[in-house]
A and B are shown apart, each in its own frame.
Chain A
Amino acid sequence: MELITKSLPLEEIENVLYARQFAYDILRRFFVEEPSREYIRQFVQKNMIDLFPFKEDSPEIREGVAAVKDYLATHDVVNIESHYQQLHWDYTRMFIGPFALPASPWESSYVRKDGLLFQGTTMEVRKLYDKYGVAVRDFNIEADDHVGLELDFMYHLNELCLSLCQESDFEKIKELIEEQSKFLRNHLLLFVPQLCEKMISAANTSFFVGMAKILPNYLKFDLEVLHELLNTEIH
């Protein structure tokens, strides 16, 4: 562990947390389920993909953003039903079925020799969710180590950090940041790069190709951000 070299006021830290809130909200929504009409409308009309943080720092994220924009430039998913359905089906086909899944969305599929769901890997993640008072809505119907749920969990922990900023509880904030860093290292980053490679070759839409490019690279950046935060004194 490096020595703490920097010192930043809480408000500055909050800015970073807002950036993360924005990024994780987009990612969790597109990875946990098919895009809802309501959300995609806001996403397109507010040109949200253009605001994705760190695209200036990462050529891969830039590439991903461009792919998403390409798709939206040629498809009107808000107004044309068949375009929306195309996007919807791309998610269903890749992550839900009913055919063989070209990009299995569960951590278990990548980190376990047996590839079985609802085993130790699922339960480890479940325990962490439980520690923070959350659980999968479709308990025991959806496995807890689904990539979208793990992203939702990151979003949830970041939310907790933001609410702790109101109470200026520095110690708790640090604990939570450490927890997120561990979760990235021990879970998401163990399988997301592989999953996204599969997605890139399997996706029918450049939208999901773009998302697959953004996700692993953003996570790597976020791990660094968390690392920096841990080495920063908050005041």
Chain B
Amino acid sequence: MIDLVSKIKDFKMTRRSFIGWSSALAATAAIPLGRGLVANAQTTIGTKESGGEGVWKTAACWHNCGSRCLNKVLVKDGVVIRQKTDDTHTDSPDYPQQRGCLRGRSQRRQVFNADRLKYPMKRKNWAPGGGKKELRGKDEWVRISWDEALDHIASEIKRIKNKYGNESIYVSGGADIGNVLSTVGGYTASTGTISWGAWLYTYEMLGVGEGLYVNAINDRLDLRNSQLIVLWGVNPAWSTMGSVTYNYLQAKKAGARFISINPLYTDSANVFDAEWVPIRPGTDDALAMGIMYTLLKEDNPHTNPLVKWDFLNKYTIGFDKDHMPAGADPKDNYKDYLLGTYDGVPKTPEWAADICGVDPNRIRSLARDIGGTERVALLTGWAPARINNGEGWVQTFSTLGMMTGHMGSTGNMTGVSCWEYAGNNGPMLITGGDSGLVPVPNPVTNVINENQIWDAVLNGKFLQKGEGEKKVNIQMIYHNYNNHLQTRSNIPKGIEAHRKVEFVVANGYALTTVAKYADIVLPVATQWETEGAVRGGNREILINWSKIIEPLYESKTDQEIAKALLKKLGQDPNAVYPISEKQQYFNQLAGSKVVKDNGVDFEPLCTITEKDIKDWGVVGTPQKGRIPLQEFVNQGIYQVPRKPGDNFGFIAYKDFIDDPVGHPVSSESGKFEIYCKALHEASKKAFSEISPIPKYVPKVDGYESTFADFKTKKKGKYPFQVFNPHYLRRSHSTLDNVPQLREAWPNPVYISKKDAKDLGIKDGDTVMLSNEHGKTLRPAKVVETIMPGTVALPHGAWVDIDEATGVDRAGADNMLVSFTPTGLGTSGYNTAHCNVEKWTGEPLQEDVKWEQRIIKL
């Protein structure tokens, strides 16, 4: 038995022991153990499950679905066993939980899906220079090592660069591979209007907001003050999951009436009990003109004031001949265009009805509703502007709001309501910090419009906007962070282009469309397998997610891939990525700011101590913030609570309305431009000319194109209009491979009962949609909730072409979209025409029963 008391005395007596121990330990403390125990990330981040089952951590839900919600996963023994969503506080209309949707809750089935790309692979018949290029998309695959894959990519980059120049390398998605190529001389890039449609290239010139960069509507609490809410191509129940529909419901409870103008009777229309106005895609401007004509005709300043002349006179230019900008022909005013004074075509409801399909009396009643109601929210999504020749629609829609004065005051708003800011505009109340990484500038200036990418590859030329036609010889395509062949192109033409070039590479987490048609594929880790990030959503929230699992199989993060490739190219990866991914995550957390109660000033969100910095193993400075760093990381979200009367309310354009001279809008004149010279001038250096005032033009591949002779209404070869609603089975094309989502949302083509009857099509029959570009199959969903003459083919299904017939069986929307550049280069996803016929071949099996894209070696 040891005598502790005397032993301690011993220790102290001998003295040397205590001093010896501490000096020895001081010398060795910093020497790391290679194989010891480390802090368990699983227990240092997250909150313990109450039953002791594991730890709840916030997991990335990183998709571009138009929302941002809280996604939590229960981690036990390094395995994700369950998911849940926001329960960090009690739910209420003013302070709602940020609840996820079926897609976020299926995230586990994406990350752990058996179809993950597991290791680098090359096409069996690939050889430097391309090998059998025509086999892209149908070749077999060979597993290779990372080293071999990167060697091939680096040597092909060098070879192609030396032979054809850097311009011959097209990188889609920019991002990390963009950085790599920029380091070695640059690459040809592409750009387009993507989600925005015509709003993106026009809003600044017109002086209005496009709903994301520039606010266009009031905040969600003010929406409760609207008496009438017009949803013009707006369907939050499908397009902006999360809290948006709930916010609209509060307006409904407060007494607002809803009108939905849409080719489809939407789930939103159903939830809000909206009056449905069915309309043909791409003809919204005609309807708006019919409404505005009615307003002019029925307006009487004394007995029936429908037009807000004061508003037009004070805040806009170009509406009538007395308010034209200098140098413009007074005859070119909008009022006279509507009345048909000079072109002899009054834009009457009857004129509009012939185009848009809405009954003239309905048009007149819409005019009386919108013009005659005091507080109106005139809201549009981006979808009606995702059309060919779409610029005029942006102007027409905005003009309707100006004419009725529904802008800049409580309950009144006219503008875009979609994506993460749907129904709730206003400056962000909480913002994430910067990662600290600086992108490498691209020395090559080539930017191809998305409507022209594959034409540029096939024909060797494209229009450089603002400059003119340019030659280009694309011989290499590198896809990262995107699925351009699926989502940005006429797919059949895109495949042809892919089979022409000498080399195609794609980074992907599964065999996505771009990966399928590549020569070499590199497996990318998902966001669950990377360090973490901070992401904003609606203006009241900031979400941060952290790593859930190590990269699965042989996958690497996007940055790891870029760094490895830089090394193979003889470059210094640390010059491009001087800080670790963990440091980038930490920087975002440290730089996060939250608004103070006064609604003006901001303070740091996180309190960070010396110990935090040491525990994270990062570089940083301690700071005082609103909540401890660890709390933000454990909760995964901070939300600014809101209540009526707080200092966070927002009325769009209020500064301008209160003081138009002191706070001009972004247009050339500083006023809302109904006559927009800048737009007209810009179009001369773009794809097709746009009138300075919004005039009706038939859209390329629009309604009129479904006729052989529009005047006699003789239908043509492609008598149907086809458009692409966003669909809850996926986010754009992401998540389309998840079996349980396939089961829940079978992805039919929606067709009206009337058309189905005429064509002898029954619900569930396999039908073929075809046009001059491609052919695609889908089971028919016969409904009474779609405008006859139009079919709705949900956006984003992973194309799956039968190589023998060229027919796609997946229902990929872009088999049918022509991608004809018009106007300023707007992408016209919702203007396409097609024929619909009963499929006589083998009927389609339900998608969920299809074999998964698991590569068998």
Contacts and interface: CB of A to CB of B under 8 A. Distances in A.
A39 B39 contact: no
A228 B4 contact: yes
Contact of B2 (A18, A133, A153, A228): A228
A43 B16 CA distance: 16
A134 B35 contact: no
A42 B17 CA distance: 16
Interface in B4-32: 4-5, 7-8, 10-12, 16-18, 20-25, 27-28, 31
Interface in A100-146: 126, 129-130, 133-140, 142
Given A15-B18, A51-B21, A133-B43, A138 B35 contact: yes
A53 B17 contact: yes
Contacts of A53: 11, 17
Nearest to B3: A228
Nearest to B38: A137
A28 interface: yes
A199 interface: no
Given A21-B21, A48-B24, A53-B17, A152 B8 contact: no
A172 interface: no
A16 interface: yes
B1 interface: yes
A137 B36 contact: yes
Interface in B32-65: 33-44
A138 B41 CA distance: 13
A224 B24 contact: no
Contact of A33 (B12, B16, B34, B38): B34
Interface string A153-190: 10010000000000000000000000000000000000
Contacts of B11: 15-16, 19, 53
Instruction: Give the one of B1, B24, B37 with max A CB within 10 A.
Output: B37
A36 B18 CA distance: 25
Contact of B31 (A15, A42, A46, A156): A42
Interface residues of B, number: 35
Contact of B25 (A6, A25, A57, A133): A25
A83 interface: no
Nearest to B22: A18
A contact face: mostly helix, strand, loop, or mixed: helix
Interface string A44-73: 001010010100110000000000000000
A18 B18 contact: yes
Nearest to A228: B4
B78 interface: yes
Nearest to B5: A6
Given A16-B4, A19-B11, A137-B35, A51 B43 contact: no
Contacts of A22: 21, 24-25
Nearest to B55: A130
A179 to B, nearest CB: 15
Contacts of A136: 37-38
Nearest to B9: A12
Contacts of A126: 77
A149 B25 CA distance: 19
Given A19-B21, A137-B36, A42 B27 contact: yes
A191 to B, nearest CB: 18
A135 B44 CA distance: 11
A81 interface: no
A28 B36 CA distance: 8
B78 A140 contact: yes
A137 B37 contact: yes
A224 B31 contact: no
A16 B38 contact: no
Nearest to A22: B21
A48 B28 CA distance: 11
A156 B38 CA distance: 10
A4 B260 CA distance: 80
A135 B17 contact: no
Given A42-B28, A137-B38, A224 B43 contact: no
Nearest to A37: B31
A9 B22 CA distance: 20
Contacts of A29: 33
Nearest to B23: A46
A41 B22 CA distance: 17
A28 B37 CA distance: 11
A49 B787 CA distance: 88
A129 B37 contact: yes
Given A46-B23, A139-B78, A36 B31 contact: yes
Contacts of A32: 33-36
Nearest to A142: B35
A232 B8 CA distance: 13
B39 A134 contact: yes
Contacts of B38: 134-137
Interface residues of A, number: 48
Contacts of B28: 25, 39, 42-43
Given A22-B21, A38-B31, A137-B38, A8 B5 contact: yes
A57 B1 CA distance: 11
A193 interface: no
A229 interface: yes
B22 A6 contact: no
A225 interface: yes
A135 B43 CA distance: 9
| Residue from B1, B5, B41 whose CB has the most chain A CB atoms within 10 Å | B5
B5 A46 contact: no
B610 to A, nearest CB: 15
Nearest to A136: B37
Contacts of A139: 78
B27 A56 contact: no
A33 B31 CA distance: 13
A228 B27 CA distance: 30
Nearest to A131: B43
A12 B8 contact: yes
B12 to A, nearest CB: 7
B490 to A, nearest CB: 47
Contacts of B24: 22, 42, 46, 48, 51
B37 A156 contact: yes
A16 B78 contact: no
Given A19-B11, A149-B37, A152-B36, A39 B31 contact: yes
Interface string B806-827: 0000000000000000000000
A131 B33 CA distance: 21
Nearest to A231: B4
A133 B48 CA distance: 12
Contacts of B27: 42, 46
Nearest to B28: A42
B459 to A, nearest CB: 54
A56 B10 contact: yes
A33 B2 contact: no
Contacts of B12: 15
Contacts of A21: 21, 25
Contacts of B7: 16, 57, 225
Contacts of B31: 36, 38-39, 42
A33 B35 contact: yes
A57 B2 CA distance: 9
Given A6-B4, A32-B34, A46-B24, 18 more contacts: A8-B4, A12-B8, A15-B18, A16-B8, A16-B11, A22-B21, A28-B33, A43-B28, A46-B20, A48-B20, A51-B16, A129-B37, A130-B40, A130-B42, A135-B40, A142-B35, A153-B37, A228-B2
14 contacts: A8-B4, A16-B4, A19-B17, A36-B34, A39-B28, A42-B28, A43-B28, A48-B20, A51-B21, A57-B7, A133-B40, A135-B39, A135-B42, A229-B4
Interface of A: 6, 8, 12, 15-16, 18-19, 21-22, 25, 28-29, 32-33, 36, 38-39, 42-43, 46, 48, 51, 53, 56-57, 126, 129-130, 133-140, 142, 148-149, 152-153, 156, 221, 224-225, 228-229, 232
The 6 closest A-B pairs by CB, nearest first: A135-B40, A22-B21, A228-B4, A134-B37, A51-B20, A133-B43
